[in-house]
Chains A and B, each alone.
Chain A
Amino acid sequence: MWEWWRKNRPLLLGGILLLVALLWYSVNLRQQDETNFLESVVLRLTGPVQAGLDRAIGGVADAWGRYLYLVDTAEDNRQLIEENRTLRAVLTQSDEVRLENQRLRLLLDFKEAQEIDTLPARVIAEDASSWFRTVMIDKGSEQGVTEGMPVVVAEGVVGRVVRSSPRFARVLLITDASSAIASLLQDNRARGVCRGQGDLLVFDFVLRQEDVSVGDRVVTSGMGGVFPKGLVVGHVKSVDRQEFGLFQTIAVTPSVDFSHLEEVLVLLRSPQ
C-alpha cells in the first residue's frame, strides 16, 4: 500500500489539488455577485496603473492627432463646415418639434415616471481574457457605485456593475455569456430574455406565434429589477422560426458599439 502511494503520490496529490480547486470554484459561484477580498485588492492595485496608462495613451494620441498628423485636417475641416450647415437646419426643425412636445406634455400633465441619478464614468480597461466581456470604469464605491447598478450610454444598455472597489468598478457587458436581461419587443410587446453571445445577443423565450421582423427594436422590460423599463438593447438581426417547438430563435444586434466604448453613465439608483 505504502509503495503504491509513493509511486502514485504526484498524480494523486495533483488530482486532489485540482478537485479542491474545482470545489472551491463551485462553492464560490454562489457569491459571484459580490466582490471578494482578493478581487478588491487586484482592482485597487491594477486600477491606478490602468487609469494612468489610459490617460497617458490618450494624451499621446491627442498630441499626435492635433499637432503632428495634420494630413487630413483640411479635408476634415471642409467636411465639418458642410456638416455644421446641415445640422443647423436639422436643429431648427427639431426645435420646433421640441416646443410642440413641451406643449403636449403640459397638456397631458405628463410626469416623468422616475428620476434616476446618473454618474458619468470613463472606461479605462478591457477584460484581460478574450473569453469574457467586461470593462473597468474609473468610478467606485466612494462615488456610490455598487454591484448590480445598470450602466448605459445614449445608444442603449451597456451592462451592469459586477465588481466594485473604492475607486474603480468592473462592468459586465450585455454581450457576455453570463449576462441576461429581461426584455421585450417595442412594437408587439412580446417578452423574453436577451442573453450575451460574444458579439451578438440571443432573444430567448419568445413564443413561436409572436410576429417578429428583422429590424424590430428590443428594449428592457424592467422585470429583472436591474434595468429600468424602456432602455434600448438592440435590433432584431434574424429570426429563425422552426416548424415545431414553443419558442423562436431571435438574434439581436446590440445598439451599443462596444468596440468604441469610452464614456458611460452609471444609473445610481436601481428602479426597484
Chain B
Amino acid sequence: MNRTLIYLAMAGIAVVLQTVLLPLVLPGYYKPDLLLILVIYLGLHEESLRGGLMAYLLGWCYDGIAGIFPGLNGFVLLGIFLAVRGVVTRVNTESSALLLLLVLAGTVLQTVVLAFALDFFSQASRVWPQMLWQLPVQLLMNFICAFVLLRLTVWLQRTLLPRRKLPGLRKLDSRYES
C-alpha cells in the first residue's frame, strides 16, 4: 500500500513537472516523459499483476492530462510494462545502464504503439510521420532525464535517508553511490 502511494505521488510530481514547469524551460512542445520512465522502473522492480495494474492506472490518469482518447495511454503503458517484464528475467536488473537503455527502447515502443492505436482506431489524421519526426528529440530528452533522475534519486537517498532504503531503489548500481 505504501509503495502504491509513493508511486502515485511520484506520478503526481511528474504530471506537474510535465504540464507546468518543463514547458517553461523547454522549446516547442517537447518534454521528457517522466511517467514512461516510472513505468519502466515498475517493470524492473514490481511483480507482474501488481505492477501491471499500477501501469494501467497510471495510463488512465495520464489520459486525464494528455490527449483526448480515454484508455489510450493505459494501453500503451501496460504494453510497455509487459514488454519490460518479458525481458527482465533475461537481463541484469542490477545495472542502472539497463534502465537508460530500456528508456530508449521504451520510447521507441511507445511511439510505435501510439501511432498504431491512433492511426488504426481513432479518427485522428495520419500521425506517424509527425511522430517519426519528433522521435529523435524525444529519445534524447527521455535519456537525459532518466540519467539526471538516477543521479538525483541516489543523491537524495544518501542525503536525506542514509539509513533507509527507498522503495524500488534497492537494485541500483553501486557506481552511482560512490
Give A contacts to B, CB under 8 Å. Answer: 10-11, 13-14, 17-18, 21-22, 24-29, 31-32, 36, 38-43, 45-46, 49-50, 53-54, 57, 124-134, 136, 162-163, 170, 172, 176-178, 180, 195-199, 202, 259
Contacts and interface: CB of A to CB of B under 8 A. Distances in A.
Contacts of A42: 61, 63-65
17 contacts: A10-B48, A18-B82, A24-B71, A27-B71, A28-B71, A49-B12, A54-B20, A126-B29, A128-B31, A128-B62, A129-B73, A163-B64, A170-B65, A177-B126, A178-B123, A196-B125, A197-B130
B29 A57 contact: no
Interface stretch (B90-98, B114-122, B152-160, B169-177): B114-122
Contact of B29 (A45, A125, A133, A177): A133
B117 A128 contact: no
A131 B20 CA distance: 16
Nearest to B32: A130
Nearest to B82: A14
A263 B20 CA distance: 15
B16 A14 contact: no
A136 B19 contact: yes
Contact of A46 (B16, B33, B35, B123): B16
A46 B138 contact: no
Contacts of B78: 17-18, 21
A202 B121 CA distance: 21
A17 B19 contact: no
Contacts of B65: 42-43, 46, 125, 127-128, 136, 170
B75 interface: yes
Interface string B4-45: 000000001001101111011000111101010000000000
B82 to A, nearest CB: 4
